Structure 1
């Protein structure tokens, strides 16, 4: 059996702290949504409102939360996640305080809206952060655990209301007006603690546990810096798996919402509830316990089916969605049969004599005696438990695997937004269900019939799972391909920068050698810079276990220090002769940088030209800046290649050395010509930009236009056509269209060389 890795070894201390805080935040959110449910009857009495209005506070809280999620889910993937999650938690604190001290229904309504808004800010960040901590092969397990956690949170919220709400000690002390407000004081304290603790943790880097980005994540200096933009937002919504699961969310949430918000009322309602004959002192508590028993199967199903989802995902990516589809289908008849078992309980058949008023200290005794009598007298409630266990067990499959599938198919910078869209449709479905609950109840005649109707929504939910099953493989492979490409580019950029740093150090020594005789003080400063650079490279290479780089940096450092020490020994008696001698020594002993690295530099310069070509119709000014970098690299290659060339006849060369000299000579010629071509390309590109600016566009305006092209992924010509009149736009586009021609010219120049 595979040994389990301890959490402290698997995750860093900061990651564990983040996970705990995010879980507490989710606990807060789910508990707050359910804490009012058992108190609906007291709220109706305290505020004197109609029964049809009681769902309104929770409905609006859910709806506001959903729309805030979709707005801030997008910005979650663009700006500082710490600020969003802290701000959201703080707003939730205000909402909880408002609920705890509200004095009328309007104040309750406003406080619940604030709570929903605050948690709407925080939740997209929470899910995005968890996906950046948990590896892909364990994500269904993560969301299975979250489903269990959600069920526990549901129960906690209802427990706070059903069992702590009736404690009127704070009302008697004059601190609260109503007993049902007491649980919100507890939620307020928890929210304050979470908000404070969020200041002391660092959220993980985006994409930090993506296998496709593993090479990037090995290096602290290499950050996953991609951000979502408007064009990618469209692509996210266009992805077939996302579309199917976003629509699925609307249908899949309805049955659970009706069960959570109506099952207690199905038991406890004073005129049509199954337990309506029970004494009012214990009816809500017994109903809450009976409804809460349905969560046992859901919690076990979350464990088993999330674990199974991770296993089948490793075999084939499609199987996670297939598992959700199968469990969705199986859950429908089982939950139908669960509801079918419900029947009214007669007080006379229970055979229990209740006092006229049950004292608080006796309530627990009578609750359990009543539960025992119900299961003894009404065997249908035993089958109710059996069907509820298996029905909710299988219903957990679609919940635990849905978010895992979402992460499987979406890029790290898209996940906060994708989560928001998933949450949006779910919350809209939940909100609409609550808003029309009173009308449905009147139309269908009973809470039991409303439960039956709710289960039917799982049928279209299963259909959309089937649709997503057909596309999830392609979408997840497309995501992995993009991440692998980004990882390769980022890794190459990092390694390239290290090589450049080494070459910079070598060049500093070469420059110091060249001015040694005439400007020894300046040469000394150049050597100091080279020594510091090699020390820095050694430290980074050692930290990242780049042994080859570390060894080379160590060798160059030793020689630089030796150069530095020799220079320090120069006396004032015959400095020129001593400097000349040191020059000859350095010239003879100093090893040049590896020629292969110079060839890599040459190739990287051309890659910059390719990058400029890709950006030519989006941001010509940026193209010019990229070409400037390419020219700088060509200059470096020319300098390094020139330093390695040996003058003809200077010494006798072996065949191997002759071949190397030929390669160096050819590289030098190619670099000089490519540099010249790139300079000409940049010059022509700059001329086009100047020509565009002559049409009345300032450089700042042009830069603003180009920022829009980056934001929306549009071509510059399209923006110009929408911004300027036809005459000016035609002139500008005529100039911009020449960009393609000059890049074709560049290809011709290169091929002729």
Structure 2
């Protein structure tokens, strides 16, 4: 006998979600704080241009996301078994304390290991957050809920990068790490006092019993082709994203000729349009899902293909020796279209993942999703640094951009498996 699904949020639910979204905003604001000031950081540690791209762009990103990806498996296990509120508090502390301490580093080794520890916090919070959202909202509202979370996370990433780009040239690159870390200690204390978590499986039909990660549960997750395709597109898609998040700011200022501040504004516009794309894409995807589920991945794939075009034009801007000769408006338009179309995929993939997995294994599924995502984010910048070493920055970025076509093909294939895998959930 199916149970009654609770869909209305209580006042305590709204309070908890508000604090959860605020914690996500500031935790993810840390993600791209280095990007606007890579050359400044390289100069402080005595790196040349090649070391800048390999160490700061490649090695730091690799350890940040690789450690976070490994840790997410353990938190996925605990998410399906223990109090998610306690796990959330622990993961935020693990992420924010080293973020704060990064503002006081004096050596590259200190920076390297503190970034690795910060990656643990971001890797841990993802399966916890989406497990909670899956229980707060039924399948008919999850794309919209994911869109709102993506909006908040995207705003955090963009705000952090904009902050670093504005304050870095004036006060030094370290100050932004301190600024973004402090608010979360206050918000986390409020979550400790007032935060609650929903009953596990309350928004799913049928009886739901929590299940720990095991060989059998992993086999069930990978048995669904939709899950596998989502994992694969996540790995493929994060490689070209590394161009935006790690290299583009420095590329526009050092290779094309814009000032650091102008380059930061261009990248911030990409971030803001990405926020809009993820938000609108989630809402549109939710409506398409309610018409016919397979329309959701088709919509996402088409938008991914479209996003490759303005990205290619942005990467291939003509360098200029005189900053005044550069057209600032042109890259802003290209960045806006690129960021908007590429990010439409994100909330829809997460909603699909929630819809094809039971609440009992949703934390595990998102742990694996985050592992695939983190492996891509970690190896993506590292792979691009190899492209740069072999072909130079511009050609290397163009190769990375074409990988989005592979990502789009994986998403397109989801339309053939989605409805079948959702049956019985």
Q: After the TM superposition, which parts of structure 1 deviate over 6 Å for at least 4 consecutive aligned residues?
A: none
Cα deviation for residue 229 of structure 1 reads 4.6
1:382, distance to aligned residue in structure 2 (A):
4.2
CA distance in 1 between partners of 2:252 and 2:323 (Å): 17
Structure 1 gaps, min length 5: 1-8, 169-178, 217-223, 351-373, 376-380, 480-753
Aligned pairs (5 A) from 1:266-665: 266-269=251-254, 273-275=255-257, 283-340=259-316, 342-347=317-322, 350=325, 374-375=326-327, 382-446=329-393, 448-479=394-425
Aligned partners of 2:27, 2:391: CA distance in 1, in Å? 31
| Equivalent residues of 1:87, 1:121 under 8 A apart | no
2:3 corresponds to? none
Distance 1:387 1:111, change over 3 A: closer
Tell me the distance in 1 between the aligned counterparts of 2:183 and 2:271: 24
Per-residue displacement from partner, 1:282-321 (whole Å, max 9, x unpaired)?
x211111122222343233223322211111111122212
| Number of the residue aligned with 1:39 | 37
TM-score (norm 2): 0.90
1:63 corresponds to 2:39? no
Question: Could you tell me which residue of structure 2 aligns to residue 77 of structure 1?
Answer: 80
Q: CA deviation at 1:35?
A: 0.8
Instruction: Tell me the residue number matched to 1:208.
Output: 202
**2:37–2:250: 8 Å Cα contact kept in structure 1?**
no
Q: Secondary structure at the match of 2:137?
A: coil
The alpha-carbon deviation at position 95 of structure 1 amounts to 1.0
- Could you state the TM-score of these two structures normalised by the residue count of structure 1? 0.52
Secondary structure (helix, strand or coil) at the match of 1:345 reads: coil
Aligned-pair distance for 1:187?
2.6
Deviation (angstroms), 1:234: 1.6
Query: Conserved in 1, the CA contact under 8 Å of 2:162 and 2:268?
Result: no
The 8 Å contact of residues 310 and 320 in structure 1, kept in 2 or not, is answered as yes
Secondary structure of the 2:81 match is coil
Alignment match, 2:185:
192
- Counterpart for residue 24 of structure 1: 22
| Separation (CA, whole Å) in 2 of partners of 1:233 and 1:249 | 18
Q: Secondary structure at the match of 2:423?
A: helix
Deviation for aligned residue 1:167: 4.5
What is the alpha-carbon distance in structure 2 between the residues aligned to residue 86 and residue 297 of structure 1? 31
Maintained 8 Å contact 1:26/1:123: no
Matches within 5 A, 1:682-697: none
The structure whose Rg is larger is 1
Report how far residue 135 of structure 1 moved. 2.9
- Is 1:182 equivalent to 2:190 in the alignment? no
Alpha-carbon separation, structure 2, partners of 1:105 and 1:181: 13
Q: Using a 3 Å threshold, how does the CA distance of structure 1 residues 293 and 229 change in structure 2: closer, same or farther?
A: closer
Structure 1 CA distance, aligned partners of 2:131 and 2:354? 9
What's the counterpart of residue 13 of structure 1?
11
The separation in 2 between residues aligned to 1:289 and 1:160, in whole angstroms, is 10
CA RMSD of aligned residues (A): 2.2
Residue number in structure 2 paired with 1:703: none
Q: Higher relative contact order at CA 8 Å, sep ≥6: structure 1 or structure 2?
A: 2
Is contact 2:285-2:299 (8 Å) kept? yes
TM-aligned CA distance change 1:81 to 1:303, over 3 Å: closer
| Contact 2:293 2:418 survives alignment (8 Å) | yes
Cα 1:101/1:348, change in 2 over 3 Å: closer
1:89·1:194 contact (CA, 8 Å) conserved in 2?
Answer: no
Paired residue total: 412
User: Residue 226 of structure 1 corresponds to which residue in structure 2?
Assistant: 210
CA deviation vs aligned residue, 1:555-594 (integer Å, no higher than 9, x gap): xxxxxxxxxxxxxxxxxxxxxxxxxxxxxxxxxxxxxxxx
Which runs of structure 2 are paired with 1:41-190 in the superposition (5 Å)? 41-49=39-47, 50-51=51-52, 52-55=54-57, 56-168=59-171, 179-190=172-183
* C-alpha distance in structure 2 between counterparts of 1:229 and 1:346, whole Å: 56
